[in-house]
Amino acid sequence: MFQKLSWIPLVVPAVVAFGLTRLALNGVMNIITGAGFVRPNFRGDHIPVGVGLLFFLGALLPGGMLIFWQPGLYAVNGLIYLLALGAMTLLGLVDDVFGSRADSGLKGHLKKLFRGEVTTGGLKLLAGGLMALVISAAISRSWQELAVNTLVIGLSVNAINLLDLRPGRAGKGYLLALVLLLVTHWPDRNLAWGMITAGALLAYLPTDLRAGAMMGDTGSNALGATLGIMTVLILEGPVKIGYLVFLVVFHLFTEKFSLTKIIERNRLLNYLDQLGRS
């Protein structure tokens, strides 16, 4: 009976997250705009930034519902998910509010850190790395697993951040990764965390695609944190190592080449990138 209803803890919380985010969307955008927290997008239009705060806000109630419903199954990993989501959202918000766009990328922030200069991006890198380490310590059973899990979480966060250069791109990247996990690991209960974040994302995504708001590092960090938590909890052995290798290669590639130019030159990637935009 439980197996037949295994979709319930994966789908129902996601629907709740979608509904809550949809209800809160206009209000949160009005608060951000009223505070003057707007920034020019790639077109030069001034739009509210940091609206990805909704992903964390939308996840609190459905995450709590799962923990309350079956604490034996969901309490530990649910609290880990909410902790990671909240911490990474906060670090992204700090970067959105106080950060400078002068330095970007891991290389730029690391260079400044080595020179003794602390940027908001460098602060996010250090604090985010420590948060990834703390989370990994709670779920790892060996030093090797601790190292792999820490890198997977940290690099997953930054990978989604690297995608967030055009409307909808970060959200589409996250959803693609989630679909792959759903196809290969349904109905693993840890998919619930990805589904909750996806519910909140889907309520917000049309606004992002219309370039009406930016999720900012606030939102891309939340998406990356969810992806990192899911993968370290679900993937095992060689598959997890393979994903880590992919993340490392992706970061090295994007440090050397422009991801946007590559997408624009590829017909399929450009079609997917433009899909839903107005």
Amino acid at 187: P
- Report the largest interatomic distance among the alpha carbons of the chain, rounded to a whole angstrom: 60
Identify the sign of the CA torsion 146, 58, 214, 100: negative
Neighbour tally for 27: CB within 10 Å? 10
Bind-site residues for Mg(2+): 161, 217
**Integer Cα distance of 256 and 93 in angstroms:** 27
| 269 CB neighbour count, 10 Å cutoff | 13
Residues belonging to the binding site are 161, 217
The token duo for 131 is 């948060």
Place of tokens 């990764």: 177
Task: Confirm if 248 and 155 have CB atoms less than 8 A apart.
Answer: yes
Q: Which residue blocks in 35-167 are alpha helix, DSSP H? A: 53-69, 71-98, 105-114, 120-139, 143-163
